[in-house]
Amino acid sequence: MVERSTAAVDVADNSGDEPLTAQADQSTADGVAKNRERDTDIDEAQGSGGTEGPGKASPPELHSGHKLARRYRLEECVTRLDGFSSWRAVDEKLRRAVGVHILPADHTRARSVLAAARSSALLGDPRFVQVLDAVEENDLVYVVHEWLPDATELSTLLASGPLEPYDIYQMVTQVSAAMAAAHREGLAHLRLNPNAVLRASTGQWRIRGLAVNAALRGISSDTPQRTDTEAIGALLYAALTQRWPYESDAYGLSGLPKDIGLIAPDQVRAGVHRGLSELAMRALVNDGATASRHESACTTPEELVKAIGEMPRIRPPEPSFTAPPDYQRTTYQQGTYGRQTSHPGATQPVPTPPPPLQSRTGKALKWAVSALLIAALGLGSWQLADALMDQGNNSEDGSQTQTTDDNDKNGDKTKPVRPIKIQNAQEYVAKGGAQAPEDVGKTYDGDSSSYWRTKSFVDGPEMNPAFKPGVGIVYDLGSPQSVSAASIGFLYPGDHTTVALYASDSLTPSSLDSMEKIGTVTTNGTSATVKVTKSVKTQYVLVWLTAMPHADRDQYSGSGYKQAITDLKFTG
């Protein structure tokens, strides 16, 4: 018997004196967490822990291409821990990307996950990433939610530095108001962290994992409002300082120095907005911070919303426009061609143009000038033809010597093309998971039947920067080399493959921005030659794919946008 739940599902059998969130509060890790180590660090850094251990049931054996309810096709596993897995999938019925959490039906937390998903779906608040389906089917429990490819996690935004005061003000205002509305309906988050807060391309802030994230991990709290309020304070603190307000590092942020306690954001970093700094401390005072120079603590999201309303409104920065240069008319347009330019500021009368030559004398003069011009043109043409004939005769006599000299000169300028041997290679991951790091050596083993392949992507041909800006491999040439070109063989033809070369300073570069782009090309076939447009000497070269053709399903992955490199050679 299949039990299915959507945003309109009846939850009467879960109603009673205790709100649904009492079960939904047992939740946790964000469905798109990248690895187990990071999730563990997050738990410790945030000071929260599960109230029950992971279920005894092992995660179901699923793979890319597997379909749920003959509708949701799994594409890529983004999390696998604590007996559950999270996937990026495609809703083939509505032709859109979705996220899916999956766990066995006999998992100890399966019931609470279903209850949390249903209660979250019933809220229907657009400030939260919506739960689209909650199903128990074929010994599986799975929760389907929105996938926002155009949204960016707060942790990603903070990687480049603290946010601007207006952006921080908008974030804390929208998140606090959304959580206050959720708590009024008896729902808590309990896993509110920089990975759970997203900024859409429109500037709106959205929260994912309401109730569900905690239920997946079995996290609960006796004071859920206070827990979520402190979490908002931690988000505000991180946005102001680019530091995590606890001793442990988390979410790519450094923690505070040990044994000094929680210090105000404006003591961590100069230039921090004073009002936002005090607001962060009023929310974080729940964990024992000192509020000596601050007002009373905020212990609920509702109190936090009220405190924000009492602050002076932070307005967006004024747009700065660079004034275009004044339009400069040429002296010819001004009618002063051939005359001295007047002094700036002096008003000059517009000269009256001379009258046309309409008299008999004027007409005679025009005819005389025309005759002289025709005669001059005829004489010039005759002299030019005579000179060309003489030059042709001379070139016949000395043609053999001239050709030999030219060939000698060109021969001196031509540089021989030499192959550059690849010493080592390593896959480069800018965002998301790796593709096939164990197969990078197959791209330069001399065997065109072996290859390194990418996964199958929903978006294409150009890759979605919000989810995956590109995929590629960094090659070690052994020593600094002057690279002139790269010849690349691909497995899949079609529209279209775009590949670029970057000069890197190591086999494991820190970011794409730290490298210099030295060449790019787009091809529809199974081979490409990328010519280096910038002369540079480098030991490490990144081959970076940003667009891939669509290919059918094969033994490794389902249908989608993908590519594979069969062989690669560098020349200098």
Per-residue pLDDT of the chain (572 residues; tens, 9 = 90+): 333 333 333 322 333 333 333 333 333 333 333 333 333 333 433 434 444 444 444 545 789 999 999 999 999 999 898 889 999 999 999 999 999 999 999 999 999 999 999 999 999 899 999 999 999 998 999 999 999 989 999 999 999 999 999 999 999 999 999 999 999 999 999 999 999 999 998 899 999 999 999 999 999 999 999 999 999 999 999 999 999 999 999 999 999 988 888 899 999 999 999 999 999 999 997 654 444 455 789 999 999 999 999 999 898 887 765 666 655 555 445 444 444 544 444 445 555 555 555 556 666 777 777 778 887 777 777 677 666 666 555 544 444 434 334 444 444 455 667 899 999 999 998 888 888 888 899 999 888 888 999 988 887 888 888 778 899 999 999 899 899 999 999 998 988 999 999 999 888 888 888 899 999 999 998 899 999 988 888 999 999 999 999 888 776 677 888 999 999 999 98
- Alpha carbon of 208 to those of 37, 117, 154: distances in Å? 21, 12, 12
Which positions ≥6 away from 472 have C-beta within 8 Å?
427, 428, 542, 543, 544, 545
Q: Which helix (H) or strand (E) holds 281?
A: helix 274-284
pTM for this prediction: 0.51
Helix ranges (H only) for 69-223 are 110-123, 154-158, 165-184, 212-217
Say what the pLDDT of residue 138 is.
Answer: 86
Residue reference for tokens 């150009």: 462
Which positions ≥6 away from 110 have C-beta within 8 Å?
55, 103, 104, 136, 141
Among 60, 124, 72, CA closest to 98: 72
Helix axes 274-284, 165-184, angle to 10 degrees: 30
Instruction: Classify strands 243-244 and 254-255 as parallel, antiparallel or unpaired.
Output: parallel
Say what the pLDDT of residue 397 is.
Answer: 45
Say what the pLDDT of residue 199 is.
Answer: 96
Q: Which helix (H) or strand (E) holds 306?
A: helix 301-310
382-405 burial string, b = 16+ CB within 10 Å, else e? eeeeeeeeeeeeeeeeeeeeeeee
pLDDT digits (tens, 9 = 90+) for 400-457: 434 334 444 444 455 667 899 999 999 998 888 888 888 899 999 888 888 999 988 8
Say what the pLDDT of residue 322 is.
Answer: 60
Say what the pLDDT of residue 49 is.
Answer: 41
Between CA 151 and CA 465 the distance in angstroms is: 10
Q: What is the DSSP string of 224-245?
A: HHHHHHHHHHHHHHHHHHSEES
Say what the pLDDT of residue 141 is.
Answer: 96
Q: What is the DSSP string of 349-409?
A: PPPPPPPP--SHHHHHHHHHHHHHHHHHHHHHHHHHHHHHHHHHHHHHHTHHHHHHHHHHH
Between CA 166 and CA 168 the distance in angstroms is: 5
Token digits for 111?
Answer: 């019931």
Token digits for 446?
Answer: 């001399």
Say what the pLDDT of residue 338 is.
Answer: 44
89 close to 69: Cβ distance less than 8 angstroms: no
Say what the pLDDT of residue 60 is.
Answer: 53
Where does residue 410 rank: exposed (0-12), middle (13-18), buried (19+ CB within 10 A)?
exposed
